Amino acid sequence: MKMYLISDNVDTLTGMRLAGVDGVVVHEREELRKELETVMDDKSVGIILLTEKFGREFPDLIDEIKLERPFPLLIEIPDRHGTGRKKDFITSYVNEAIGLKL
């Protein structure tokens, strides 16, 4: 199984290529949709890495794919600017998931 990166910037793609992960840079919603469809049809790809910017800008598109297709796995990763999540992301996620305040 291979990983494949869909990034919004060349720097992240370059870094991942140095680690042996192939990928592409896209900027528009339709480019992203087309690339996702192409990669999901490739049975050798088990994990699709997406920069977090796509999750922020196109959450409906990403969530739709995550809910409809169990494979390949879609994972959002931080880009060269760092994570877009707040500091207490994990705590707030657990609070939301189980309804308890930690």
Q: What is the CATH number of the domain that holds 62?
A: 3.40.50.10580
Number of independent structural domains in the chain: 1
Q: Which domain holds residue 23?
A: 2-98
Question: Average model confidence (pLDDT) for the chain?
Answer: 84
pTM over 0.85: no
Half-sphere exposure of 93 (CA within 13 A, CB side): 6
Dump pLDDT digits (tens) for 68-98.
Answer: 888 889 988 887 666 666 666 566 667 776 7
Distance separating alpha carbons of residues 30 and 33, to the nearest angstrom: 5
Residue 54 in tokens: 């796509």
Distance separating alpha carbons of residues 11 and 101, to the nearest angstrom: 38
